[in-house]
Structure 1
């Protein structure tokens, strides 16, 4: 197995099985994505396009507390002074955004929230252990949940997506509930999500490459038009609906710690 450590990501490639494990490695920040990690993710996905030894990928996070908690709030992202233009620092962190059509499986333990759905939304399916919880904090902090909700709307019933987006930090979806509504395709015992995801990835990687990648592309074609149309609405909805950053920071500082898990 070849391994590589690049900043806030770790990559391990098993040349025999053709499975790569890509690990978000900022456990002290609950695997939140800063601008450096966003660049690393885009670079890594594009490198996988040219590595024929990689035929399937599992993405996960270091530690038991979180798969990923979205954008690191310390990231400084200047924005154009217009409601019709917006620079989203996470828009290119997923495999499909980087034109990678090799199958990707997300293995989730602990929290997955906010910007984590850019990664989950571009995975073929999700394996989660019983510790996993899913929520979207945007509205709590005066932010529009646009891209996150669009990604989730392609995996969950509309009412479940809307409830998650509107309830913010007050409510989290349990791994069991996520499995029931289709966000998660396999539920495991605590600590076993990566093993289960690798097991599925190894099976997929053993099949003819052209058939697998063509199938991935076909499945995405079925929902691509709706996603592209929805994405076109997202920038100005965020620009018009988000509170100024200083007011967001105030709400974040005053956030309540209590939440309900369902």
Structure 2
């Protein structure tokens, strides 16, 4: 079952691992539901005071929605049937600190998770990109989340350049998206080190601080996210055309520029 949840009562830290390595930790509908259930469970788990979120293997942290998933299309542009909308901890009302440990690729729907983490520890070999525009899709939720965490120009470039470019871990660190770089073998220990520190503090103070930090931007974030369904309905190509572009891109094997 994915995700995998491991709790250490001695340190007060839980590790949530996206465990679909064979699919680059892409999220199917069952995983989306399970992630929401994990965050809700951790709200009520008193011996967990901090969380590390990571992906299985070294190839990818998460590559967003599994393209094999048949997502029902809303009958109206005023309706939203986004299967990833509630996969993040804040969407599930969890205010214990969540540290993302990013290994390999983080792209597309991964930003729902990164956007709701307190900070990111990244492998030096990780890359970040948003493929939406390449495949005729509007990057709405993802772009909004990243615009909250990155300089606007950097968020705009990543959201618009699609699969043509990838943001290196070093560049992500330089612009403030990533708070710490670690060698691939040291990624999880680095994230756990920070999580154990937070778990050792009084949890009421830590959670209150998390809530205060998010209150600084929550109004603007929610206002921006509210525009997403209509923008997606207006701008997305038909699913069949998206699939054609995806297949063509795979066949062309164009190597992205890493900057």
Question: TM-score scaled to structure 2, two decimals?
Answer: 0.98
Matches within 5 A, 1:97-176: 97-176=91-170
Matches within 5 A, 1:1-262: 7-255=1-249, 256-257=252-253, 258-262=255-259
Q: CA offset at residue 20 of structure 1?
A: 0.3
Distance 1:253 1:79 in 2: 21
Q: CA offset at residue 194 of structure 1?
A: 1.2
Structure 2: stretches of 5+ with no match in the other structure: none
Question: TM-score scaled to structure 1, two decimals?
Answer: 0.97
The list of structure 1 runs, each at least 4 consecutive aligned residues, that deviate by more than 3 angstroms after superposition, is none
Distance 1:118 1:37 in 2: 14
How many pairs does the alignment contain? 256
Distance 1:125 1:148 in 2: 16
Structure 1: stretches of 5+ with no match in the other structure: 1-6
